[in-house]
Amino acid sequence: AQKITQTQPGMFVQEKEAVTLDCTYDTSDQSYGLFWYKQPSSGEMIFLIYQGSYDEQNATEGRYSLNFQKARKSANLVISASQLGDSAMYFCAMREGNYGQNFVFGPGTRLSVLP
Amino acid sequence: DAMVIQNPRYQVTQFGKPVTLSCSQTLNHNVMYWYQQKSSQAPKLLFHYYDKDFNNEADTPDNFQSRRPNTSFCFLDIRSPGLGDAAMYLCATSRDSGVSAAYEQYFGPGTRLTVT
């Protein structure tokens, strides 16, 4: 069974500093996708970034980057230059390949950005 | 803009009184999902549709049913809501990823269900 672990229930970061949110995963599939979502207090889930298991380069999207270490099965999210609006829950998720439709979510990390 | 719409945003129902939540999409995605999310927890998948094929999670209570009459619409029926069913219900869509698992989910804003 697939599993996602996020070991940091809560994190604090000073505004304008960088922060890394940890995610490790467990799968026996060779083809899979890793996703990060942001959920502000308003409740909507916002897609941030995607990394495919065969991608050799780490994904980047604006201030978001994904530190993908396949051998260690980790997919950490790095947010650079934190902003107050980054305060939210962050979920790491995995989608199995080979026509798999299910997404498995980690328990989430609550990030608080301090002024 | 293409999007996922959920109605209503807030729903109050009485203990044991059937309730239906609705989801529609303009993305023409063939996969649709229903999640239950309780406070400060990860979303819990209830079921998903791949086109008209219904896929129920093993631990989804029989109290929860779903219908997908066409590509655009999907409904969540709670036949006899209990106090423990109070939660945020999220609808999501995705393209079929094939081999690559490449496509993300698009979420609606959610329906917050209160059971009195």
pLDDT > 90: what percent of chain B? 84
Residues of B in contact with A44 (CB under 8 A): 107-110
pLDDT above 70: residue B19:
yes
Q: For residue B2, what pLDDT is reported?
A: 65
A90 vs B: CB within 8 A:
no
| Confidence label for B58 from pLDDT (cuts 50, 70 and 90) | confident
Q: Is residue B104 classed as helix, strand or coil in its secondary structure?
A: coil
Q: Is residue B84 classed as helix, strand or coil in its secondary structure?
A: helix
Residues of B in contact with A100 (CB under 8 A): 97, 101
The alpha-carbon gap from B8 to the nearest alpha carbon of chain A, in Å, equals 14
Q: Residue A18 corresponds to which tokens in the numbers above? A: 């960088």
Q: For residue B32, what pLDDT is reported?
A: 95
B50 vs A: CB within 8 A:
yes
CB burial of residue A73 (10 Å; 0-12, 13-18, 19+): middle
Q: What does each C-alpha distance from A60 to A37, A63, A77, B38, B94 come to in angstroms?
A: 14, 8, 10, 30, 21
B58 vs A: CB within 8 A:
no
| Confidence label for B103 from pLDDT (cuts 50, 70 and 90) | confident
Q: For residue A1, what pLDDT is reported?
A: 63
**Nearest CA to B92 among B16, B5, B9?**
B5
What is the greatest pairwise CA distance in chain A?
45
Q: What is the DSSP string of A38-106?
A: EE-TT---EEEEEEETT--SPPEETTEEEEEETTTTEEEEEE-S--GGG-EEEEEEEEESTT---EEE-
Residues of A in contact with B112 (CB under 8 A): 43
Residues in chain A with pLDDT values less than 50: none
Residues 6 or more apart whose CB falls under 8 angstroms from that of A79 comprise A13, A18, A19, A20, A21, A63, A64, A86, A111
Q: For residue A100, what pLDDT is reported?
A: 75
Q: How many angstroms separate the CA atoms of B47 and B41, rounded?
A: 18
Contact between B97 and A95 using a beta-carbon 8 Å cutoff: yes
Summarize the confidence of residues B69-91 as an average pLDDT: 97
Q: How many angstroms separate the CA atoms of B102 and A97, rounded?
A: 8
Residues 6 or more apart whose CB falls under 8 angstroms from that of B43 comprise A45, A91, A105, B35, B36, B37, B90
The label of the residue with tokens 């599993």 reads: A3
B33 vs A: CB within 8 A:
yes
A31 vs B: CB within 8 A:
yes
